[in-house]
Amino acid sequence: MVLVNRGFVKDAQAGASVKGMPGLRILGESVACESTVAADIEGGVDAAMPEIIAALTKPLTAEEKSPKLKAERPSRIIFKGNQQEVNHFFYSKGWTDGLPVVPPTEKAVAEMMTGTDLPPDHVVAKMVPKLGKATVEKIAINAVMAGALPSYMPVLIAAVQALADHKTRFDVFQTSTGSWAPFFIINGRVRNDLNVNCGSGVFSPGDMANAAIGRAVGLMVKNIAGVRKGIEDMGVMGNPQKYTLVLGENEEESPWDPLHVDFGLKKEDSALTVLFPNNFTQTIPSQTTAQGIAERLASMCPNALSCLVVIPDHARILASEGWSKKRLRDFILKNTPRGEFRSPLKDEDFIVVVAGGSGVWMAALKSSGGFENSFVTKKIELPRNWDKLVAKYKALVPNYENY
């Protein structure tokens, strides 16, 4: 039998089932997580002992002796109805993120798959913890639900490949109590081809590519990886950034090499980089000199994996005063405050990205804790029909009326 905190019983049941042990006896106890109160711990242990003894001594049932896994062959037609009925059905099944979805009809999914040269049954990766097979078709289904365009498929495929890389520690971050969210940074020509926002309000809603790419990944995490809130995802507070967290680097206004070049790719490549922050902060420098900007950036950088977002105006000021990206990083390494988890800060613990609009604000997306994770960058492979796809969807942008 397994003894767990009572809030983790469903999590333990799901984990046991995935490992082929659905009959495992799981007992929920009442001691608060990581409690340091001796009386509460002793009281919880005393209360649990009779149930522990019973679980260890009670004869096995027939099901426990020979558990049977359910073999399902779902129909390709899941539900028929109008859009509202489809949304209510999908939500009741736990397949959505709480917002309305676009029904993934056969026609819509087929159109989505025009965004890749890979066949529908090609397995891009197996996604933990369920080890669900992220086939091209399943990626397309979730992309349709998220409101994505077919031209987003190369980015979504690269995102799945990135999450499958163990160096991200996706296995920890999507199931942990710490409420981390996947953060994707997009580089290369694909940013402009897809109208990914790199400028003003870069973290705000309103741009289809930024919104739908992140949302599609979130749906895949739920529906393919099998990470459900309160069952496998045990985030205590949760994180609104799990709806979507996608940024394009403003390469055109940056005086430095873009991020994907820092990670060894060619400037003409398109690429996606992922990390897992669980907090976001903004601030302004006390002075807009290079020294003042650098000092404030250093004060924002914790001793754990993080991304510092510098606006183009600040990047130009830094470069005009002789600050290369390396000099800025060296300064931050020497001057960042001592952190709780890692000290001193290491060069591979943080990145600097140029994005955002006019003003004086700067941002940091930071991760609490050290889990031996690292940034992962994947090249985005574009299909043969890319120029045709871009031409079809490129003009789809907001056109605001003047007041």
pLDDT one-digit tens code per residue, 243-285:
999 999 999 999 999 999 999 999 999 999 999 999 999 999 9
Residue 154 covered by a domain:
yes
pLDDT band at 77; cut points 50, 70, 90: confident
Q: What is the pTM of this model?
A: 0.93
93 and 215 fall within a common domain:
yes
What integer pLDDT is reported at residue 344 of this predicted model?
A: 66
120 and 239 fall within a common domain:
yes
What integer pLDDT is reported at residue 162 of this predicted model?
A: 98
Residue 310 covered by a domain:
no
What integer pLDDT is reported at residue 370 of this predicted model?
A: 65
What integer pLDDT is reported at residue 305 of this predicted model?
A: 84
Residues 316-363: tens digit of each pLDDT: 999 999 999 999 999 998 998 765 545 567 888 899 999 999 999 999
Q: In this predicted model, which residue has the larger pLDDT, 302 or 112?
A: 112
What integer pLDDT is reported at residue 54 of this predicted model?
A: 94
Q: Which of 221, 249, 277 is the last residue of a domain?
A: 249
Residue 37 covered by a domain:
yes
241 and 129 fall within a common domain:
yes
Residue 38 covered by a domain:
yes
What integer pLDDT is reported at residue 339 of this predicted model?
A: 57
Averaged pLDDT, 228-240 = 95
What integer pLDDT is reported at residue 68 of this predicted model?
A: 76
91 and 170 fall within a common domain:
yes
Percent of the chain with pLDDT over 70: 97
Give the chain's mean pLDDT.
93
Averaged pLDDT, 145-167 = 98
98 and 211 fall within a common domain:
yes
Averaged pLDDT, 367-380 = 86
What is the rounded distance in angstroms from the CA atom of residue 133 to the CA atom of residue 127? 7
* Domains held by the chain: number: 2
Query: What's the token pair of residue 159?
Result: 């995102």
Give yes or no for a contact between 30 and 41, defined as CB atoms under 8 angstroms apart.
no
What integer pLDDT is reported at residue 76 of this predicted model?
A: 85
Q: Which of 216, 249, 282 is the last residue of a domain?
A: 249
Residue 139 covered by a domain:
yes
239 and 165 fall within a common domain:
yes
Residue 316 covered by a domain:
no
Q: Which of 206, 227, 249 is the last residue of a domain?
A: 249
Residues 9-61: tens digit of each pLDDT: 999 999 888 888 888 899 999 999 999 999 999 999 999 999 999 999 999 99
Residue 292 covered by a domain:
no
pLDDT band at 303; cut points 50, 70, 90: low
Q: What domain range includes position 43?
A: 2-65
154 and 221 fall within a common domain:
yes
97 and 232 fall within a common domain:
yes
41 and 142 fall within a common domain:
no
What is the rounded distance in angstroms from the CA atom of residue 378 to the CA atom of residue 162? 6
97 and 30 fall within a common domain:
no
138 and 206 fall within a common domain:
yes
146 and 57 fall within a common domain:
no
Rg of the chain's alpha carbons, rounded to an integer?
24
Residue written as tokens 């917002």? 99
Whether 136 shows a pLDDT value over 70: the answer reads: yes
Residue written as tokens 């077919």? 150
Residue 286 covered by a domain:
no
